[in-house]
Structure 1
């Protein structure tokens, strides 16, 4: 049974769950877009004589490239884990009929590689467009070094290719680990309840280690110079976000416990179903919590810096929007994937008499829990970083105006609801009796 043949496992897997493939493809495209744009700006700046403007633009492109790669490895790993877990029953059936663990792992690795190669030209083209817009913003702000011209060639292409291959293969390795190791006799019973996986102690320990590392880095930066504190802020944010991603399951359950009394009292049956559904699917929903927390924390940190500046830097503003868009699209993509996998569940509800507006009410209630976990965690991270380090760098947290708080938190909540509800129209066009037997829209 070959994964490279037209009728191989990877091809059959994609045909069975096209929405999962589309979600992974979109995440890889977003990654390639930002890497291409950042590397193009850095390479273009490196080709002109050294000057303060040249150093600032080069450093900006280099730092954005590094942060994007770090975040992409982690975020794409989560997206791919979600995509593989959505096909848990198919993998269980393959194991039950004799497929070996190495075949499951090779299936996932092959699909990941092919998806990365397909995403590369799309992401490279979009990245070139973003780089061109970025260059125009720098030019309009008078921040371009003398003689700088935009060069988009093989350098950004190879950087995007390397990032996509590494991210997809690492993500595929992590995603396929559990599916390939599970015993065939236990596989089918495990997948009867979607998302009912138990949290492992190893994940909890890793999450605590990164959390402790972020706290230590914050303390060291607070005790050092202002320049060092500013350089460490992205690294501290990254450490907190990794801790959030690994411990997303516990954050989701904590948010469920906090929101449950309100949802049950105000939401009625929809609130009760949302609480039960979120608790059962907390493991998969944790994949959406991380990018939501990421965009919230990063936006707060950047808005604090912008609010403390007398002259708003066009480059910093564009960078903030670029990363907010990157994280926001990843979050929206993940939430769409999570909704699409529930075709059978929603079809069952409609088959026993639930109206469309009642299904929407359940999704709205679940979105409130997701927003509480993601936006709440991102806000906590932003405050944990900027409260001790903002004053050190001259950008105190108290300088952030009320409208910026409202815009950041409100945008996060709207993003969660809009992305979660976006596929419902398409899912409602499927007859309930047909949706019960179908695996994907």
Structure 2
């Protein structure tokens, strides 16, 4: 029975299922490539260059696993939260909390199992290209060969399974534990507020980042740059946990100027504030893109020629997070087919709705740019200008403008294109779908 319900649930929401599948494939691809390089470096003959390659592989793998955990958990949780109405109805017709949890766990496995071989195959291709490029740059010691065995697949399978299960179960926990009537009432309105536990965890991550920053600043200057990625991760964990609160703050600050755009501006602020918890699933990866790029630019600004590894790391992490953000934004827009259809039925024109979506994209991109810049500034603060490090505010204006434009383009395209698709459907049909 549980498997049948899970399959039916996946078929009933193809957009959400496709979004989760894409995120899992993306995670499996990056994890497979990074772990393949790591295991290949450690399997080769010992040498100073080989140890440096292995150390680089460890760093890439740890960051890739972190990003995968964050992205997969958030996307899976978002997909489950989008089905809150169906979950509440199941509770009203007799489904117990354990059945709800088993259904969510089964859905996670049904999505992760086919995503793993696809991601593994793409990861092998990425690893081969990456390893070949490093060999061309002279970064691979003699005698070291790329070997992609079952270990990268096992690592990817573990990360995908655990994070998708935890993300889905955490999102289903509220509906599973609520009384049926309460669950149905919650499904009829916007998502609830941020839990106390989530706020405490956010403060804990922030406190850890501040403590580590102080320790790095007091330590050897030549080792400070090595701690920047860890500082970034800690600050980004805090941002991810506090995302709904930060999203509402951004909406509040933009409420007055957005009134100048009339009804679309008012609707954009109201929608973003009411859906701040789900919108934070898009704000967090975009913030990650901005923070990683600004931090990498800040640490390499003083170098005459940044190394190939620096450029590849920035492209890998930014590309990963950017694709995850685009995937999440598409899921969020397609979820609103009934809302947009109802607005069209009461007289809203296609142009007004597109302007509303565009302004919502401005909220996401603007909030992400501010948060990303703040995270990068905090992560680079312990360097204190050593080694040519430069704070984001000290980077060239054209670089900052280019990054802001790229982020805005990513967000707006990921929001507008699926909105156009929704606007081509008949309102009466979409409102009852």
| Number of the residue aligned with 1:423 | 418
Q: Work out the CA distance in 1 between the residues paired with 2:242 and 2:311.
A: 31
Q: How does 1:85-100 map to 2 (within 5 A)?
A: 85-100=81-96
Counterpart residue number, 2:294: 300
Segment of structure 1 superposing worse, 91-100 or 228-237: 228-237
Tell me, yes or no, if structure 1 residue 321 matches structure 2 residue 320: no
How is 1:173-188 mapped onto 2 (pairs within 5 angstroms)?
173-188=169-184
Match of 2:278 among 284, 290, 293: 284
Equivalence map 1:168-247=2 (5 Å): 168-193=164-189, 195-247=190-242
1:59 and 2:55 are equivalent in the alignment? yes
Alpha-carbon displacement from aligned partner over 1:55-84 (angstroms, at most 9, x marks no partner): 222111111111221232232221111111
The two structures have a TM-score, normalised by structure 1, of 0.94
Which stretch has the larger CA shift, 98-107 or 385-394? 385-394
Superposed, which structure 2 residues align to 1:267-416 within 5 Å?
267-389=261-383, 391-397=385-391, 400-416=395-411
1:110 equivalent in alignment to 2:109: no
What SS does the aligned partner of 1:191 have? helix
**Number of residues of Structure 1 aligned to a counterpart in Structure 2:** 432
**Residues 231 and 289 (structure 1 numbering): CA distance in 2 closer, same or farther, change over 3 Å?**
same
Cα distance, 1:90 vs structure 2: 0.1
Deviations 1:106-157 (A, max 9, x none): 0111111121111101111111111122123212322221122221221211
Alpha-carbon distance between aligned partners in 2 of 1:99 and 1:74, rounded to the nearest angstrom: 30
Structure 1 stretches of 4+ moved >3 Å: none
Q: Who is 2:246 aligned against?
A: 251
Range 226-235 or range 317-326, more displaced: 226-235
Shift of 1:281: 0.7
8 Å CA contact 1:207–1:242 kept in 2: the answer is yes
Residue 396 of structure 1: CA displacement? 2.6
| Ranges in structure 1 where 5+ consecutive residues have no aligned partner | none
> How many Å separate the matches in 2 of 1:317 and 1:55?
21
SS at match of 1:178: helix
The separation in 2 between residues aligned to 1:363 and 1:291, in whole angstroms, is: 19
Deviation, 1:345, is 0.8
Contact kept, 8 Å, 2:225 with 2:299, in 1: the verdict is: no
**How many angstroms does 1:41 deviate by?**
1.0
- C-alpha separation between the residues in 2 aligned to 1:115 and 1:427? 25
CA 1:311–1:53: 2 relative to 1, 3 Å: farther
CA distance in 2, matches of 1:143, 1:102: 52
Q: Deviations over 1:376-402 (max 9, x none)?
A: 111110011113325245423266333
Where structure 2 has 5 or more consecutive residues not aligned to the other structure, the ranges are none
Q: Name the residue aligned to 2:153.
A: 157
Q: State the distance in 2 between where 1:404 and 1:128 align.
A: 33
In 2, distance between residues paired with 1:11 and 1:21? 10
Q: What is the TM-score normalised by the length of structure 2?
A: 0.96
Distance across 2 between alignment mates of 1:31 and 1:220: 32
In structure 1, distance between residues paired with 2:344 and 2:123: 42
Preserved contact between residue 301 and residue 388 of structure 2 (Cα < 8 Å): no
